[in-house]
């Protein structure tokens, strides 16, 4: 039997003869022992239970006190009387702590009050009245706090949500809310919870976390935050992804701080958490239905309304459902540079979740259309994670650069590489992957000057200038190949044994580095032009080709390809064979490529 059960049992009146009042038995209090901290904690726990009962009985009269001094005096009287009745030996500090806890019960959030005041605690979790946990330094531990019973927990929940006009009952057994300091609160009661009322508080610091704080925490380096600042200023559409408690909202807050002061920002959240410092910010908060089930305002409703508010940027605290479709549409209809978050284990999972959320709207959209929309809208995914030591890191900065064969294309620009563990702390940092993102030209277009070395990103290929960039819904005319292989599509000529061997030549304009067209016939023509120039430079020609290999993206396009091929080889065509195009060329937007062997 738990201590709380023993105390409650001891509080039951003893049966008395008929006509006489029941006899209230004395309440046993554990005798403190100087040699046992456990015994002292048991004694203090028993005192807390009895004081909570006293407070509940005198709650109305306590609330009627006009001044803090009067309330303090009344509470001190309750504490001193309880200690005396229990013949408990407590220290002066323990007595002051008990007084503080009782004051918190009346004017604050009861057993949660000291936990919420502790700045080292980042999360508070109540699993029924007898099990309270905290997160400190990324680690979860149980604390010696408790509520009197389920009703006691419910009173605290009501104290949180009533000022916000929200409710929780059997017909609506879950609620999201916030505390005055911005901390996020989620509460669940029966019948959803089987352990009694459950409260989860995600604490927010009184002072918003800054970039310098994030650097000090080791979330990412100063250089990486400067890169992200450039991305925000270049109006890239960014999703922050990660698991629960990985620091998504904190990262979103920091990214939002990079938005220029002269832009109008509209924020949309279930429960307001974002702490933007700009002056021109319009925060909107969703509203649940009232007792009659009416008056609900969803994030989707707010997103549609935000489009009529002339926003420069829209920030959605978190996409969980059908609002993802509205967010994607906003990103592609003038509100570029918008930001949001979502739960996922990897950047690729974030895109799959977006697909699922769009389908949750109920619209019967083809998957290809959904992926086209995502590929067109999302530029960058910043993925956060909580590592084994409890630290929160940015572990991936990933570009979404297009779509190919119904697959959205991703490439990591930076990824976290762990170098070891020292004194239980994970060591490592974000490092460039050797991939040059396709949006680099946007920095130049916005007048954003990157530092020398561009954060370790590989320099641009001189033969493929950044001035042209792709249409993100797919690869269209004038698109620069996003694959970072300088020789892709250029072909390479090698002379050996009296023969010239030319590797795969693609439909790339040699002057711009762009794919000439999405049409297979025009691509074939460009391939043969490039091949002719390559052979003549090597001292050969098309007339001396003895063997050819062509790769087609779609085998059904062979007839169109062959019509153009026959124009370049009107007589006896060289011996050859066709193959299916490799994925690297497919991703670059090729429909055809050609390699040959010719006499030198």
505: CATH? 3.30.1330.40
Asked if residue 551 is part of any domain, the answer here is yes
Residues 174, 70 share a domain:
no
Longest dimension (CA), the chain: 124
Domain boundary among 206, 241, 256: 206
- Give the model's pLDDT for residue 58: 66
Quote the CA–CA distance of 210 and 207 in Å, as a whole number: 9
Residues 424, 318 share a domain:
yes
Number of neighbours of residue 551 by Cβ within 10 angstroms? 19
Asked if the peptide bond before residue 480 counts as cis, ω within 30 degrees of 0, the response is no
- Give the model's pLDDT for residue 345: 94
Residues 140, 114 share a domain:
yes
- Give the model's pLDDT for residue 144: 83
Quote the CA–CA distance of 540 and 193 in Å, as a whole number: 79
Q: Which long-range contacts (CB under 8 A, 24 or more apart) does 328-332 make?
A: 328/354, 328/358, 328/373, 328/374, 328/377, 328/378, 329/373, 329/377, 330/303, 330/306, 331/237, 331/377, 331/378, 332/373, 332/376, 332/377
Quote the CA–CA distance of 563 and 519 in Å, as a whole number: 13
Q: Is the CB of residue 579 less than 8 Å from the CB of residue 593? A: no
Does the pTM surpass 0.75? The reply is: no
Q: Is the CB of residue 541 less than 8 Å from the CB of residue 581? A: no
Quote the CA–CA distance of 458 and 440 in Å, as a whole number: 11
Residues 337, 237 share a domain:
yes
Query: What parts of the chain have a pLDDT lower than 50?
Result: 1-35, 463-471, 473-486
- Give the model's pLDDT for residue 91: 78
Residues 543, 395 share a domain:
no
Residues 132, 56 share a domain:
no
Angle at 540 between CA 534 and CA 546, to 5 degrees: 100
Residues 220, 360 share a domain:
yes
Q: What is the pLDDT of residues 299-345, one digit of tens each?
A: 999 999 998 999 999 999 999 899 999 999 889 888 899 999 999 99
Count how many domains the chain has.
Answer: 4
Sign of CA pseudo-dihedral 587, 592, 598, 600:
negative
Q: What is the pLDDT of residues 557-567, one digit of tens each?
A: 999 999 999 99
Asked if residue 457 is part of any domain, the answer here is no
Quote the CA–CA distance of 509 and 466 in Å, as a whole number: 14
Asked if residue 479 is part of any domain, the answer here is no
- CATH for 374: 3.40.50.300
Residues 582, 524 share a domain:
yes
Residues 169, 144 share a domain:
yes
Angle at 443 between CA 441 and CA 444, to 5 degrees: 70
Quote the CA–CA distance of 477 and 526 in Å, as a whole number: 13
Q: Is the CB of residue 110 less than 8 Å from the CB of residue 147? A: yes
Residues 513, 427 share a domain:
no
Quote the CA–CA distance of 251 and 229 in Å, as a whole number: 12
In terms of Cα–Cα distance, which of 454, 522, 462 is closest to 486? 462
Residues 497, 391 share a domain:
no
Residues 230, 146 share a domain:
no
* Enclosing domain of residue 100: 27-107
- Give the model's pLDDT for residue 6: 37
Q: Under 8 Å CB-to-CB from 237, ≥6 apart: which residues? A: 331, 336, 337, 338, 339, 377, 378, 379, 380
Q: What is the Rg, in whole angstroms, of the alpha carbon atoms belonging to the chain? A: 34
Asked if residue 233 is part of any domain, the answer here is yes
3-class DSSP string for 549-567: EEEECCHHHHHHHHHHHHH
Asked if residue 477 is part of any domain, the answer here is no
Domain boundary among 408, 424, 440: 440
Tokens for 120, please give them: 């080292």
3-state DSSP assignment of residue 528 = helix
Sign of CA pseudo-dihedral 587, 588, 589, 595:
negative
């Amino acid at each position: 039997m738990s201590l709380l059960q023993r105390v409650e049992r001891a509080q039951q009146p003893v049966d008395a003869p008929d006509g006489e009042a029941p006899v209230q038995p004395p309440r046993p209090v554990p005798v403190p022992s100087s040699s046992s901290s456990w015994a002292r904690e048991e004694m203090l726990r028993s005192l807390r239970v009895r004081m909570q009962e006293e407070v509940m009985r005198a709650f109305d009269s306590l609330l009627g006190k006009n001044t803090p001094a009067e309330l303090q005096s009344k509470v001190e009287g309750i504490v001193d009387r309880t200690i005396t009745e229990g013949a408990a030996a407590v220290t002066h500090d323990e007595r002051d702590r008990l007084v503080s806890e009782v004051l918190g019960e009346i004017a604050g959030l009861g057993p949660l009050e000291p936990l919420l005041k502790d700045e080292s605690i980042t999360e508070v979790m109540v699993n029924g009245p007898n099990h309270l946990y905290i997160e400190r330094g990324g680690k979860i531990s149980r604390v010696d706090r408790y509520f009197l019973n389920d009703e006691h927990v419910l009173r605290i929940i009501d104290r949180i949500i009533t000022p916000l006009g929200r409710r929780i009952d059997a017909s609506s057994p879950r609620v999201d809310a916030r505390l005055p300091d911005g901390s996020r609160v989620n509460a669940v009661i029966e019948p959803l919870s089987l352990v009694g009322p459950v409260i989860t508080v995600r604490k927010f610091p009184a002072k918003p976390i800054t970039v310098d704080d994030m650097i000090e925490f080791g979330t990412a380096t100063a250089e990486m935050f400067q890169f992200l600042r450039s991305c925000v200023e270049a109006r890239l559409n960014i999703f922050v992804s990660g698991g629960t408690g990985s620091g998504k909202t904190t990262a979103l807050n920091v990214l939002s701080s990079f938005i220029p002061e002269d832009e109008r920002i509209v924020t949309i959240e279930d429960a307001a958490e974002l702490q933007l410092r700009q002056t021109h910010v319009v925060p909107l908060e969703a509203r649940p239905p009232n007792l009659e089930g009416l008056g609900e305002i969803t994030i989707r409703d707010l997103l549609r309304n935000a489009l009529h508010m002339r926003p420069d940027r829209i920030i959605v605290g978190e996409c969980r459902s059908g609002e993802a479709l509205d967010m994607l549409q906003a990103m592609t209809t003038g509100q570029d540079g918008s930001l949001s978050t979502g739960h996922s284990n990897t950047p690729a999972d974030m895109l799959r979740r977006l697909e699922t959320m769009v389908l949750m709207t109920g619209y019967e959209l083809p998957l290809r259309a959904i992926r086209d929309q995502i590929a067109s809208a999302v530029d960058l995914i910043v993925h956060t994670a909580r590592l084994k030591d409890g630290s929160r890191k940015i572990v991936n900065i990933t570009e979404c650069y297009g779509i190919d064969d119904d697959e959205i294309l991703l490439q990591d620009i930076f990824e976290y590489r762990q170098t070891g563990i020292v004194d239980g702390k994970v060591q490592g940092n974000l490092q460039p992957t050797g991939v040059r993102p396709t949006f680099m030209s946007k920095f130049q277009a916005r007048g954003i000057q990157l530092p020398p070395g561009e954060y370790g990103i590989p320099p641009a290929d001189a033969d493929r200038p950044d001035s042209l960039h792709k249409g993100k819904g797919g690869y269209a005319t004038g698109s620069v190949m996003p694959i970072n292989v300088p020789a892709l599509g250029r072909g390479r000529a090698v002379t050996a044994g009296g023969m010239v061997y030319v590797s795969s030549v693609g439909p790339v304009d040699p002057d711009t580095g762009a794919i000439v067209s999405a049409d297979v016939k025009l691509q074939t023509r460009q391939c043969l032009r490039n091949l002719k120039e390559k052979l003549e430079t090597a001292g050969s020609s098309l007339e001396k080709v003895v063997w050819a290999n062509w790769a087609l993206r779609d085998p059904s396009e062979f007839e169109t390809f062959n019509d153009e091929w026959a124009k370049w080889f009107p007589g006896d065509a060289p011996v050859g064979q066709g193959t299916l195009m490799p994925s690297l060329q497919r991703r670059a937007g090729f429909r055809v490529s050609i390699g040959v062997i010719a006499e030198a």
